[in-house]
Amino acid sequence: MSTITKGTRWAHRVREFLNAAGYETTSRAWMERGNDITARRGMLELSVECKDHRALKLAEWVDQAERQAPDGAIPVVVAHRLGKAGVAEAYVVLSGRAFADLLESL
């Protein structure tokens, strides 16, 4: 399976997971710049980067999420966990600043 196909499938699973959790989601078009998914519920807006890679590059991914997040959105990375299929078992990574913003928004 190509990396693009794998990543697209993972992003689709993440979007379904967020929809089931009550978020309104939109996805960017393939090859369009920006975050993979925007998820909104109430006043909370998440800018989500979806990653399905063998090697974890957390700092790189968090930096990318922060660069691509629109103003007011909290940048998060949802990284596939090797050996686990579901999004509920994935890693969710964000910077300390984004974590503080998330807590403040609750």
Q: Is the entire prediction scored with pTM above 0.75?
A: yes
pLDDT tens, position by position, for the chain (106 residues)? 666 677 789 999 999 999 999 999 999 766 667 778 999 999 999 999 999 999 999 999 999 999 999 999 999 999 999 999 899 999 999 999 999 999 998 8
User: Residue 84 has which token pair?
Assistant: 């686990």
Asked if residues 37 and 13 have their Cβ atoms less than 8 Å apart, the reply is no
Give me the helices (H) in the chain, please. 3-20, 58-68, 96-105
Domains identified in the chain and CATH numbers: 3-105 (3.40.1350.10)
